[in-house]
Structure formats: C-alpha cells, structure tokens
Amino acid sequence: MTTSLTSAASGSGTPTAPRTPGAAPEARTRTDARADGGTRTRTAKRRKRPPHTPLNPRPSVPLTLVTGLVLVYTLLPLAWLVINATKDQNGLLDSFGLWFAEDSHFWDNIGRTLSYDDGVFVRWLLNTLLYVVAGAGGATVLAVLGGYALATYDFPGRRAVFAVVLGAVAVPGTALAVPTFLMFSNMGLTNTPWAVIIPSLISPFGLYLMWVFAAESVPTELLEAARIDGSGELRTFFTIALPLLMPGTVTVLLFSMVATWNNYFLPLIMIKDPDWYPLTLGLNAWNAQAQTAGGEAVFDLIITGSLLTIVPIVAVFLLLQRYWQSGLAAGSVKE
Amino acid sequence: MRTHITRRLLGALAVVSTLALTATACGSDASDGGGDSGPKDVAAALEKGGKVTVWAWEPTLKKVAEDFEKKYPKVDVELVNAGTGDKQYTALQNAMAAGSGAPDVAQVEYYALGQFTIGKSVEDLASYGAQKYGTTFTSGPWNAVTEDKAVYALPMDSGPMAFFYNKKVFDKHGIKVPTTWDEYVEAARALHKADPKIFITNDTGDAGATTSLIWQAGGRPYRTDGTDVTIDFGDEGTRKYTATWQKLLDEKLVAPISSWSDAWYKGLADGSLATLSIGAWMPANLTSGVASASGDWRVAPLPQWTKGDKTSAENGGSSLAVPKAAKNKELAYAFTEFATTGAGASARVTAGAFPATRADLESKAFLDTAFPYFGGQQANRIFAESARNVGEDWSYLPYQVYANSIFNDTVGKAYVSPTTLTDGLKQWQEAGVTYGNDQGFTVNK
Amino acid sequence: MPHVLFTPVLTLTTVSAPTPLHTLLPHSTPRLRTRSVTDARNPAMTLLSTRATAAPPPRPRARFRLRKEALVGWGFAGPFVAVFGLVFLAPIGYALYLSLFQDRLIGGTSFVGLDNYGKALTDPRFWEGLTRVGLFLLIQVPVMLGVALLVALAIDSGRLYGRTFFRVSIFLPYAVPAVVASLIWGFMYGTRFGLVGNVNDAFGISLPDPLSPSLVLAAIGNIVTWEFVGYNMLIFYAALKVVPRSLYEAAAIDGAGEWRVVTSIKLPAIRSALVIATIFSIIGSFQLFNEPSILQKLAPNAITSDFTPNLYTYSLSFSGQQHNYAATVAIVMGVLTAIIAYAVQLRGMRKG
C-alpha cells in the first residue's frame, strides 16, 4: 500500500505538473520574502521553547480551549439525550433538562423500550440491520466497482456518467418520491424490504470518493503489468486493485452505513407495514401515537429509543474509524 | 455537460414515458373494477374465508380483529398501522393511484372522507345493506358518512365536544366554571392575572378546533352540492367566533404551545394549561399522557355562545371505509360492520373508545361509568348530552385535508403577526377557492 | 430519499482563496509532492470539467484495445449505472412526463403542455421558499463550513490536546438521525420547559423563542450545523491528511509561519474537496426538508407548508394531490440547483 503513491508518481506525469517548474521560482521568491517578514517576530519567540518540528508541534492550551467550545456545542444535545433517558414520563415533565431526576429509571426505560408493544423495537432494530447490511454493503460494492471503472478505464460516456449523477442528485428527492413510489408499486416492491434496499444502493458521493481514491491509489503501471502477465480484468481487480482500494472502501462503507441507518423519508413512503419499519420510522410512529385519540404518550420511550438507535451506529463508527484512520495515514504519509 | 445531461435525460425520458403510460393504464384498470353485491355475498364470503387488510391507527381495533377472527375462523384480519391521519390518507391515495397495495378497509376521519367520496374511490356500502343502520348511529357521524342515499363509510367513533378543566387550579384561584364564551374570556383574564404562568388553554392555530368552534357558534362556512362548493367565512357564526378568539389572542391569554407536544403534556400536568375544549375521546389521552394530574381534572359542558343554549359540535372522530380497490369487498364490509355496530362497537367502547352508536351512548353501564381520573365523575353523561346537541347540517370541504394543511400558512398568521383572525380566515378562504377551482370544482365565496 | 447523503459542505472562502496554487512548493520537495497535490485535484477536475484542459493522464495502452477497454469499463460501471437508472433517471423521466399533465379531482387527467412550468415560474409561494433557502445557503453554509474547516485545521495542526477525542466527539452528531436530532433540539428549544426555558428561569432572563417566525430559520440552521459540522470537519481533515508532511518541512525551511502554511499549502491542497463539497452543500441546502418538517409540529405558524421549495412540493403532492404540479416544481428546482452548482464549480476551477 505504501508504494502506491511513489510508484504512481514516477509514472506518467499529470497534466498540471509541467506547468509548475516554469511558474515556481518566481512565485517562491515572492512568497519567501513575505513569509520571512511576517514570521520573524514569532520565530524569535519560539526559539526559547524546546525545539519542535513542523510535523510534531507542541500542543497549545488556547487552541484546545477554543476548539473545546465547538466540542461543548456538539456534545451538549447528546448529554441531554443521555440524561433524559434516565427519566420516566413524570421526571421528564418535572426536572431540569440538563440534570438527572431524583431516581434513575435508565434500565427500566431500556427494558420497557425493548418490550413495549410485544418487543416491536427489537424487530425494528433487526430490520434496520438488514437495510444497512444489504443497502450500505451493496452501495459500497457498486461505488467501488463504478469508481474503479471511471478511474481506470477510458470508456465512452465516462465523463457523462458523473455529470448525469450530479445533475440527477440536484432534483429534490421529496418530489421524486411519488413517481418512484408509483413505479415500485407497479413492480410489486412497495411494502417489502426491497423498496428500501434498492434506492439505498446508490451513493453518488461514494462513487465520487472511490473515483478520486482509485485514481490516486491504483497505479496504471501495476494494472498494465498484470495484463501483460495475462491476468484477466476481474482477477486483476480482485488481486491487485481491491487491496489498494481498501481504505477508501471502508470510508464509503462507513458513510453509506450512517446514511442507511438514518434513512427516514424513503421508508416513510415505501413501507406501510410496521413490521418492516426501520428504527427512525418506528420512533416517529411512537411520537405520532401521542397525537391520536386513545393513543398513549410515550416520550420517555422515544428518548430512550433514540439513544438506543444512536448507540450501535456510533459503536460501529468508532470501530471502523480506527481502521479507516490507519488506512488514510497509510495512503498519505510516505516513508 | 449540459448537453450531455439533456440528451441522456431525453433518452431516459423516452423509456420512462412508455413505462409511465403502462403504469397509468394498469392503475385505471385496477381501480375501475367495482361491482355491486348484496348481503348474501357477504355471508358466502365469510363462509369461504380469506384475508382482510385493515389500515387503521385506532388502538381498540386490535381486540375487535381478534374477536372477528374467533367468530369467523376462516378469515384472517391483518391490522396495519399505516400512519396517522393525513399520512395514512396519502398512503391510501398513492396506493389507489398505483392500482395496487390498497387495503380492504381503511380508517378515515370524517373531515377527510369527502376527498375519497368525490373521486368515487370508496365503495357505496348501501349496496351491502348499510342503509339499515340509519338509526343505529348518532346523527352527527351518520350525516358525515352519508350523502343522499349513499353510505360511504360506517362511523367508528365520535368526538362530541366538552369542556375539560383543572378543578384544582380553578378552586385555588376562585374561578367559576364558565358557561358562556364571554365568561370563558373573563376566566382566562382572571387566571392569567392571578398567576402569569397559567393560561386558560393553548392554541397555535388548529384547523380542526377552529372549524369545530365555528360549527358550535352556528357558522356553516362550507356548503357542498356535488361539484359546486361554497366557502364563506363571513357568516354570523364565524364572526362570533373571531370576535371572542381575537380578544384571547390580543391579550395573549392563550399559551403559544402546540397541542400534543411534550410542552403541552407538561402544561396539562402541572396546571399551567387550565382547560381544554375538545372531543369526548380525550379522557383516554389524559389518563395515559397526563397520569400525574389524575383527580385534578373535571368535565363540564362546552361554554355557549348564547347564554342558556346547549349547542355542541363534533371534534374529530373517524369511520371505516372500503376502498374501491379492495380485493375482498364482501369480507371488508363484514369486518367494517362487525367493528362499528353491535358487540364489536361495545367492546371498543369498553376499551375506551367514544361511541357513535346510540345504543352504547344510552346504555346505563356507559352513563354510570365513574372516571377515577375525574374524581369519580360520571363524565359520559356530559359527553352523551353533548352528542345529542351537535349542531345540524355541518359539512366539510371535499378537499378538507388539503385545506387543513394550509390552515397555518394563512390563519396561522393571526397567531404570530398583527394579522387578524378575520383576515387570516379570509386568506384561508381565498386559498381554498383557488385550489378548488384548480381541481375542477365550481367554488363560490 | 437517499441521494443527498450529505448536506452542505464547503467554504465559499476557499473557493475564492486568494493564494494561487503551488506558490510555496517548488524544488525543495520533488515529485512526490507534486504528484499528490495535483492528483488529489486532478480527478475532480476531470470529472467536473467540460473543458478539455484537464484531460485524464495518458495511459499506456499496449495490447489493450479501445473496444475492449470500453467493454470492461462499462462492465465495472454497469451495476451502478443500471441501479442509478432505476432509482434516479426513471423517476426523473416519469416526473418530466407527469409535469406535462394536469390531474384534477373533478375532470381527470388532461395534457397541458408547459402550462405547469409557466405557473411554477410565477408562483410566489415557490419563489418565497427559494429565497428562504437562498438566504439559508448564504449564511448557514459558510458558518458551518468555516467552523468545520477551522476545527479540521486545528486538529491537523497537531497542536490540540486529545485530538482523537476532539475528532471523534465532534463527528458524533453525524451519527444522529435527522429525526432524532430535530426531536432533541425541539425539546431543548422549548421556552417553557425546554433548555431555553430552564435558562430563562435560572437567570431570570427572557431569551427570545427560537421557534418564533423571525428566528426559526436560524434555529433550523443551528440543527443542520450541529448535524453536519463534524462530518464536514472530517472530510476536510481527511483531505488534509493526504497532504504530504514533507511539504510542511519544506515550508518550515523556507521560514513560513503556520498561517502561511495554511493559506499556501493546506487550503489549495484540499481545494477539490472544497469544490465538490460546495456543490453537494448547495444541493443539500436547496433540498432542506427533514428538520423543518419535523419542527413544523412545534412551530406550525412559523414553518409554513411552503417554507422551503422541498416542503412545498411535498405539501402539493402529499396533501394537495397535485402530483403533476409538484413534479414541475421539483424539476424547476432541480434545474436551478444544477445551474448554480455548475456555476460554483466553474468558478472554483477558474481560480485554480
């Protein structure tokens, strides 16, 4: 993996490369002069500190504090969610939002959330898992294949593909919902898992990401060498390209998973049978239940359910994140 | 790139148009096939058995479906909560347009039924003998589901309005239960003055509540005769309503909290929202959603626009209809009949639904029921009295679902800007006229 | 719908970043650097370019004939293209078809040609919504992307304590479904019992209601920012990670300060991420739907049924049964979005 950039760089030049040498010296002189003037005083101060390298600078307290404000902003609502998942219906109504009520109902809430209405929450959880595995998994496969093709082969219509993808994405999905629904209905797909899975298979951003990633990390020379050795295109893809594409693949998988896990509007239109609801739709149904005659208000279950909905995706993200991060680093930092 | 997109889209368009045309054709095929069948077919169908899909959100239907299956073991009832209110109507409309996936029975609120009858997309149940139930149901709901001789649905429940008030709060501040809307305004002032945190009620603009109060005040803004529709929010009843309600808004006497939100439930629980003027189905929601205030609340008749009157109105309530696109209409009718009349209806009343059937409304057991939540009060007596006094001849628009969806765009301005209720209603009227004309109705103001 | 997996990204500031590319780069760091900086950029340019300038790198083609290449290329891209055709192009085509008709409750369906388009272009409800999302785009997107970029730069600078914690925590909200996020913020916005109410009680002050008509757009902007700031941060951060560290060494040797490194190396290097992200953000903003639609229950008078063009089409189609007109509005919206995205892309590239 670490060889990818170097070998690629030694290969055919990029169109912009020739431009650089001509423009460079002049530009550099200019910048150098400015940079020197601008940084002199700071450099002088820094001398007193232990030496550091640009790659390994000293942590800064002020910068950490300022960035910490953003951290507080992002974590506050999550803290609210966790705190309020410990309250029962009465506690929710009576106590201060950002602090715990007198007695904790956390485990009780979780138990009730999982068992409410014959354990329908668990069913929704399993549905969501199905949609994520099939939808996000499939989306990743399609994006990897497509991105690889766009980056590696010069086939007619190549450029048009992305233009069309971008153009199509610009049309608001809410209004396409009815045509899509009517089409799917005619194919007998509505109210089945397919109605959620098939549209989830397309991730335009995933395609873009894989395209860029494949262009960067799969050197043409390697593929060419494999061809000369008589390797078929598929075999070349699986044995040579795919391993190189892994970090990008994990990234696309991660984002597709989040998108599928959080999918709301599509199932809202396609699925009418609560037995096939994903979690987001189920939670919304619980929310709507408080608004009907004879319905039971279950805000406590909605809050606990929301927390339970977030936990798995966060966990998966954290697990994949480490892998993804190392992959990214491997792809970028050379020895 | 643009040319590319265009060319490609045109190509795709050609393919898809063909597909679409086929789709439309299929759609009309499927939805056109309707047939008449009499009561005999129903008995035969029950004998034969089959599956009935029911789209409804009404919780008490669960038990009824089980009972029905027990009584007719060959029939399998699939009860699906396909969304609440307009979400379900959308699904229903979509399924009808697509020509597949429509249920055999659907719950439709009274205000929304017109949308389905005007397009003839629900069965006329008169052909199954539903006319005989003319005296079974109370007049408000029955009027709502019938048109001349046609019966488009059977009433499932009803929502005669009553006045729910927090007695503890009223007693604490020495407020008398208002019997007229003028007294209501006085009570609102007194309560809010005694404790600025207390509001007589909440209101952020609710089409259902507003039309119900106009109904009670004698206003009849909508008239429908076939495709001729009249919308007029200038009549005397409407003016009575706006005059009173404008005072409440101007003096900021109603809390800007949306009904059914968590803040609303909180307000009902802690006494800061002191009253509700709402349908008789409310006790079930209070009992489960505002359990902590049990014992605080009481029920009284709705305040009157003229002292000494007893007029009431309906607020909410729904029916069961059989879509034209249903696969098994005989079974669908059998279930509808079972769930809305006789033992099925009684079972649902026991489970907490508010009846639309006279027999249940007049039964001693029903009237004598003491509500622990209301301090042992026999609240059903008040509800039943209200059901008897619902103002006559009210009708909704055949496109009330859409009209209600833009209520807050227009009348809502009166709640958040200097626009008056009268002006807001006028805008609502204009928008309704425009929409109706666009849809091929002849709309008069 | 799944298409817009990602809402707003991107700093408009970067698109118009004043420093030309490569000013600092030259000799000190050889091929390696040139390769990754330009190449990170190159694919995007290739994808997005209509001009011939950014042609793909020439590839040796010994024994690999053109026709076969086309076949294999389509073979790999085929599955994506096929599914894409089914879930995007076919419905779009159907929508175009629908837009030429009018379906009435009374009188049925009739062909009306381009009448629906004429109606849409003069529909004040549509234009009001469009103006609103335009305003949203101009304010919320730069704020969110600015913050995202600053955090990404801060983490990338290596000068934070606990940078992994920062990176992970700030990204977390992205994992929260829009339904849940709007629900949480909706609870917190409450002026009576919510967090705003709590603060009012605790300090004896009276904060304005975030869900009042004058503030509701900002309140929605806050939710969207909260949901996506971490996501954008991560995109920028990932792009920054790909910048070879040797560039920074070279800059240090040249005596460039940190800010200088940021403006001259880092920002230009992540330009392609910025441009593509801007485009996706524009699309996301113009399609604003989930958050206002869920908050509508709490603020029915502030969030009207035509609050954004997307809510308007939803209301037309789902409450009003005006599928044909809704399809028309959606197409007009899609064309406008595409034009603006295209303009931004051209501008972003010209500056490069």
B contacts of A192 (beta carbons < 8 Å): none
Please tell me the distance in Å from C129's CA to the nearest CA on chain B. 13
Average model confidence (pLDDT) for chain C?
77
Do A198 and A131 form a contact (C-beta atoms < 8 A)? no
Confidence at B32, pLDDT banded by 50, 70, 90: very low
Q: A157 and A274, same structural domain?
A: yes
Q: What is the CATH number of the domain that holds A218?
A: 1.10.3720.10
pLDDT of residue B44: 87
Q: What's the total number of domains in chain A?
A: 2
**Is there a single domain that holds both residue A273 and residue A296?**
yes
End position of a domain, from candidates A72, A104, A136: A104
Inform me whether the C-beta atom of residue A174 falls under 8 Å from chain B C-beta atoms. Answer: no
Q: Is B160 helix (H, G, I), strand (E, B) or coil?
A: strand
Q: Is the pLDDT of residue B8 over 50?
A: no
Question: Residues A139, A268: one domain?
Answer: yes
Contact C126, C41 (CB under 8 A): no
3-state secondary structure of C188: helix
Q: In whole numbers, what is the pLDDT of chain B averaged over residues?
A: 88
Cα–Cα distances in angstroms (integers) from residue B272 to residues B181, B200, B290, B332, C288, in the given order: 20, 8, 13, 46, 35
Domain check: are A100 and A129 in the same one?
Answer: no
Measured from the Cβ of residue B179, the count of other Cβ atoms closer than 10 Å reads 17
A6 in a structural domain: no
If asked whether residues A200 and A320 sit together in one domain, one would say: yes
CA distance B207 to B185: 21
Residue A147 lies in a domain: yes
Q: What local confidence, expressed as pLDDT, does residue A174 receive?
A: 66
Residue A170 lies in a domain: yes
Contact A283 C180 (CB under 8 A): yes
Let me know if residue A309 belongs to a domain. yes
pLDDT tens track for A147-184: 999 988 888 888 888 788 877 777 766 667 778 887 88
Of A160, A181, A273, the CB nearest to B98: A181
Residue of A nearest to C182 (CA): A77
Q: What is the mean pLDDT of the segment spanning A177-194? A: 84
For residue B96, give the amino acid letter.
Answer: M
CATH architecture of C12-51+66-101+110-351: Orthogonal Bundle (1.10)
Residues shown for chain B:
445
Report in angstroms the alpha-carbon separations of C220 from A303, C6, C175, C228. 20, 16, 18, 12
Would you call B159 an interface residue with chain A, using a CB distance cutoff of 8 Å? yes
Residue listed under structure tokens 């000068």: C159
- Sorting pLDDT into bands at 50, 70 and 90, what band is B234? very high
Residue A297 to residue B289, Cβ atoms within 8 A:
yes
Q: C161: nearest CA in chain A?
A: A59
* A228 plus A263 within the same structural domain: yes
Cβ separation A97–C80 shorter than 8 A: no
Q: Does ipTM surpass 0.85 in this model?
A: no
A293 closest CB neighbour out of B99, B269, B284: B284
Give the closest-approach CA distance of A104 to chain C in angstroms. Answer: 20
Radius of gyration from C-alpha coordinates of chain B? 24
On the question of pLDDT at B390 being above 90, the answer is yes
Per DSSP, the three-state class of C1 is: coil
Rounded CA-CA distance B345/B354 in Å is: 10
Q: Looking at CA atoms only, how far is residue B304 from chain C in angstroms?
A: 28
pLDDT higher than 70, residue C32: no
User: Do A88 and A168 fall into the same domain?
Assistant: no
| Predicted confidence (pLDDT) per residue in C114-126, tens digit | 999 999 999 999 9
Indicate whether A150 and A74 sit together in one domain: no
Q: How confident is the model at residue C39 (pLDDT cuts 50, 70, 90)?
A: very low
Per-residue confidence (pLDDT) for residue B403, from 0 to 100:
95
pLDDT at C264: 87
Quote the percentage of chain A above a pLDDT of 70: 76
Of C309, C130, C315, C299, the residue nearest C213 (C-alpha): C299
Asked if residue A123 and residue A97 are part of one domain, the reply reads no
The residue-averaged pLDDT of B51-60 equals 92
Q: Which of A207-216, B279-288, B374-383 has the lowest mean pLDDT?
A: A207-216
Structural domains in chain B? 34-158+316-362 (3.40.190.10), 161-313+376-444 (3.40.190.10)
- pLDDT-based confidence at residue B123 (cuts at 50, 70, 90): very high
Lowest mean per-residue pLDDT among A131-135, B31-35, B135-139, B431-435: B31-35
User: Same structural domain for residues A246 and A127?
Assistant: yes
- H-type helices in chain C, by residue range? 12-15, 31-48, 66-84, 90-98, 115-121, 124-156, 163-171, 178-189, 195-203, 216-241, 245-253, 258-261, 267-269, 271-286, 290-295, 309-314, 323-351
Is residue A167 within 8 angstroms of chain B, CB to CB?
A: yes
Q: How confident is the model at residue A264 (pLDDT cuts 50, 70, 90)?
A: confident
Same domain, A156 and A280: yes
A324 — pLDDT class (breaks 50, 70, 90): low
Question: How high is the pLDDT of residue B261?
Answer: 84
What's the mean pLDDT when you consider all of chain A?
A: 76
> What integer pLDDT is reported at residue C126 of this predicted model?
95
The yes-or-no verdict on residue A2 having pLDDT over 60 is no
**What is the average per-residue pLDDT within A13-39?**
35
At CB < 8 A and 24+ separation, what contacts does A49-53 make?
A53/C249, A53/C252
B/e letters for B274-294, b = 16+ CB within 10 Å, e = fewer, are: bbbbbbbbbbbbbbbbbebbe
Domain ranges of chain C: 12-51+66-101+110-351
Spatial distance between the Cα atoms of C187 and A299, rounded to a whole number of angstroms: 11
Residues 6 or more apart whose CB falls under 8 angstroms from that of B323 comprise: B92, B96, B102, B103, B104, B106, B116, B121, B122, B123
As a whole number of angstroms, the distance between CA B217 and CA B306 comes to 9
Q: What is the C-alpha separation between B107 and B62, in angstroms, rounded?
A: 13
pLDDT at residue C8 greater than cutoff 60: no
Q: How confident is the model at residue C178 (pLDDT cuts 50, 70, 90)?
A: confident
In chain A, pLDDT over 90 holds for what percent of residues? 20
Residue C106 has pLDDT above 90, yes or no: no
- Shortest alpha-carbon distance between residue A244 and chain B (Å): 31
Contact B58 A294 (CB under 8 A): yes
Residue B90 has, within 13 A of its CA and on its CB side, a CA count of: 24
Q: Residue A86 is part of which domain span? A: 60-104
Q: Which residue has the higher pLDDT, A89 or B336?
A: B336
Of A69, A104, A139, the position where a domain reaches its end is: A104
For residue A202, is pLDDT > 80? Answer: yes
Residue A236 counted as domain residue: yes
What is the CA C271 to chain-centroid distance, rounded?
15
Phi/psi region, residue C178 (left: phi>0; alpha: psi -120 to 50; beta: rest), is: alpha
Question: Has residue A281 been placed in a domain?
Answer: yes
Of A104, A126, A161, the position where a domain reaches its end is: A104
Residue C65 pLDDT: 62
Strands B105-109 and B318-321: antiparallel
pLDDT(C161) > 80: yes
Nearest CA in chain A to B6: A164
Of the listed ranges A12-21, B105-114, B322-331, C280-289, the least confidently predicted one is A12-21
**Shortest Cα–Cα distance, C243 to chain B (Å):** 30
Measured between CA atoms, the residue of chain B closest to residue A295 is B285
Q: Are residues A277 and A141 in the same domain?
A: yes
Phi and psi at residue A12, to the nearest 5°: -60, 140
Q: Tell me if A138 is assigned to some domain.
A: yes
Could you tell me if residue A4 is inside a domain? no
A74 and C230 within 8 Å at the Cβ level: the answer is yes
